[in-house]
Amino acid sequence: MTAAPHTTHVAGSSFTRWIRPRPGHWIRPLAFMAPALAGLALFVVYPLLALVYYSFTRYDLLNTPVWVGLRNYVFLLWGDPLARKAAYNTVWLVVVITVLRLVFATGVAAVLVRVRNGAGLFRTLIYLPALAPPVAATLAFTFLFNPGTGPVNTVLSWFGVSGPLWFSDPAWAKPALTLLTLWASGELIIIIMAGMLDVPGELYEAASLDGAGSVRRFWHITLPAIAPVLVFGVINSIILGLQYFTQAVVAASVASGSADIAGSRRVIGYPDNSTLTFPVWLYQQGFHYYNMGYASAMSIALFVVSTVFTVFFVHRLRRASHAEEMA
Amino acid sequence: MATLTTATDLAPGSTPRRGPARRRSNRRGLMRWIAVHSIALAIGLMFVLPLVFVALTAFMSDRQALTADLWPRSWHPANFAEVFRTAPLLKYLGNSMMYSLLATAGMLLSSVPAAYALARMRWRGRQTVFLVVIAAMMIPPQVLSVPLYILWARLHLTGTLWPLILPYFLLDAFSIFLLRQFFLTVPQSYLDAARVDGCGDLRTLLRVLLPMTRPGIAAISLFCFMYTWNDYFGPLLYAGENPDEWTLSLALASFRGAHQVQWNLTMAATVVVMLPVILLFVLAQKSFVRGITFTGVKG
């Protein structure tokens, strides 16, 4: 399952350059792009502009929006202790998930890439959890990690370890969510494996002849060679962490025992707001309390942070495509 | 975690490579084989055991599900019938199907021409539009939820799944991005040949590019289907208050509320929701893997 080699000649052959440009040559691209351009205008550009406007208003969906200036932002930055708590939880998840996901996925990939027999089976096993619907996976984990009868604490007790309360302990809820995320990181593992398989074998042989041990070969050849894939993994994990929502909502509701997740008796943040992520609090403000203006200000904050990483990603992509066109 | 450090110690040549320089004594090769495969086995178990425990619990009796037992003393497949009896799962299944199938169909209609224009046509502003598509792809879904919800509320479509389905007929940034990558792999000479034979852009796309990138089309369709099938935030936002429109994921999240202490029924429902996805994967594993490697290696 090596990734296909990509020899792309976007710049076109001499033939296409010869018949172009001709007058009105933008009409065809426009016809092909029309739905997408309309979609970008309607579902990306318009909502972003509207978002900026709403963030300066007080709006409850029923009455007309009232202009309040910067009040939503002031409240977000200085007045709302739960927003601070939510931002802390999200940053915690972003950092821990990104670091552990990368280390874990690289480690697992380094093993699986050496498997000679049954490689397909192993790949299936590690990828299956990544496909499971997040709601189902979270329910599974709240059962596995339930402190009373859960298999995890049962197995731990065989070794004389009394397991923590996991999803019911403010100190252990986020680590439990992290384990859930690692369990579902099969996609990243497969991407990294593909990157490792693309490393030319001669590099390893040359290094062996020079007397480099396996650790040094991994550190000086494998890692630099798969660096682009790892960068992708970092950005992918950061975006994943920034929008962490479903698992936090479901785990909190189920562990608190009063779960009516779709309806209005929803419990969020349980235990003790330790799973209250920024998107969860945004959702609660907007669609439970109907503070649309305040939720918009929170959205802008989330947008600004995620845009920083997007710009980084786009920059890298651009460099890659430039290099490609040179080749 | 200890297993990970040993993994890096395990000697070199990651891929099955032969040649006199790399040939080792049989004994050492065997030791390595055993080490690699036992670590891999442990990792595989780590990934699959949670699913096994879930499935085993789904077959337990009500009473045994409350104990710390791992293996069912007696098997109760009736739990699954009970799940279907207590919740209108078929209705939710229908809603999920409608959402996923219509979204995937809409995605194909809108993404194929857009990806073609971005990959294979030369026009001013192409690079800029492509960057905007990528930026759109990276926006967390919660960011635009407020203005979009207000928009759909004005159109009286909240309370249904249409606010989630309709946009796919215009734009799915991720699919456009991925499909463009697939279109770029087709050598230009094929397109030139088609042009010499008198094919216009539309014919080139339909007769040359699409047949050559069938695996890519399969991959983005699977991704779109899976994403919408697994989506929780979207259905919660627009259909959360209207149980008639619930998808399987949404219904599963609420299932536990009605079955407070019955882990066996909750796990049976979990299995029911996971099963279609697992079947789909088993049937189309190749397409999945090809698609994922593409997102990362080129992304």
Phi, psi of A171 (to 5 degrees): -80, -20
**Among the partner residues A143, A232, A283, nearest to B142 by beta-carbon distance:** A283
Which chain A positions have a beta carbon within 8 Å of B146's beta carbon? 51, 54, 286, 292, 295-296, 299
Which chain A positions have a beta carbon within 8 Å of B22's beta carbon? 205, 208
Q: Do B149 and A309 touch (CB under 8 A)?
A: no
Give the ranges where chain A is alpha helix by DSSP (H): 14-19, 27-40, 46-54, 71-74, 81-112, 119-131, 134-144, 151-158, 173-183, 186-197, 201-209, 214-217, 223-225, 227-242, 246-256, 278-287, 292-326
- By C-alpha distance, the chain A residue nearest B3 is A107
Which chain A positions have a beta carbon within 8 Å of B140's beta carbon? 239, 242-243, 279, 302-303, 306
Taking the CA atoms of B167, B168, B171 and B174 in sequence, report the sign of the dihedral they define.
Answer: positive
Is B2 an 8 Å CB contact of chain A?
A: no
Positions of CATH 1.10.3720.10 in chain B = 88-298
Q: Within 10 Å of residue B33's Cβ, how many Cβ atoms?
A: 14
Which pLDDT value is given to residue B3?
31
Residues in B 183-242 with any Cβ partner in A closer than 8 A: 184-185, 187-189, 191-192, 195-196, 201, 226, 229-230, 232-233, 236-237, 240-241
A304 has pLDDT over 90: yes
Mean pLDDT of A171-179: 95
Q: Do A261 and B253 touch (CB under 8 A)?
A: yes
pLDDT per residue as tens digits for the range B10-36: 344 444 445 544 555 678 888 888 989
**CA neighbor of B13 nearest in space, from B21, B3, B4:** B21
pLDDT per residue as tens digits for the range A81-133: 999 999 999 999 999 999 999 999 999 999 999 888 888 888 888 988 998 99
User: How are beta strands A57-58 and A66-67 bridged, if at all?
Assistant: antiparallel
Which pLDDT value is given to residue A20?
52
- By C-alpha distance, the chain A residue nearest B274 is A132
pLDDT per residue as tens digits for the range A228-238: 888 888 988 99
Domains and CATH numbers, chain A: 72-326 (1.10.3720.10)
> Rounded mean pLDDT of chain A?
85
Q: What one-letter code names the amino acid at A169? A: D
Which chain B positions have a beta carbon within 8 Å of A6's beta carbon? 184-185, 298
Which pLDDT value is given to residue B286?
77
A172 has pLDDT over 90: yes
pLDDT per residue as tens digits for the range B151-191: 999 999 999 999 999 999 999 999 999 899 889 888 888 88
CA distances to A20, A29, A30, B125, B179 from A24, rounded to whole Å, are: 11, 10, 11, 15, 26
Q: Within 10 Å of residue B141's Cβ, how many Cβ atoms?
A: 14
* CB neighbour class for A175 (10 Å; exposed up to 12, middle 13-18, buried from 19): middle
A17 has pLDDT over 50: no
- By C-alpha distance, the chain A residue nearest B174 is A36
Mean pLDDT of A272-300: 95
Q: How far does B246 lie from chain A, in Å, by closest CA? A: 9
Rounded to the nearest 5 degrees, what angle is found at the Cα of B98, between the Cα atoms of B92 and B103? Answer: 135
Is B164 an 8 Å CB contact of chain A?
A: no
Q: Do B47 and A114 touch (CB under 8 A)?
A: no
Question: What secondary structure letter does DSSP report for A67?
Answer: E
Q: How far is CA A88 from the centre of its chain?
A: 17
Q: Do B129 and A199 touch (CB under 8 A)?
A: no
Residues in A 30-89 with any Cβ partner in B closer than 8 A: 30-33, 35-40, 42-44, 46-48, 50-51, 54, 61
pLDDT bracket for residue A22 (50, 70, 90): low
Token digits of residue B46: 């780590």
Which chain A positions have a beta carbon within 8 Å of B151's beta carbon? 46-47, 50
What CA–CA distance (Å, rounded) separates B297 from A194? 8
Which chain B positions have a beta carbon within 8 Å of A209's beta carbon? 21
**CATH architecture label of B88-298:** Orthogonal Bundle (1.10)
- By C-alpha distance, the chain A residue nearest B16 is A116
* CB neighbour class for B275 (10 Å; exposed up to 12, middle 13-18, buried from 19): exposed
R_g of chain A, CA atoms, integer Å: 25
**Among the partner residues A15, A108, A314, nearest to B43 by beta-carbon distance:** A108
Q: For chains A and B, count residue pairs whose Cβ atoms are closer than 8 Å.
A: 396
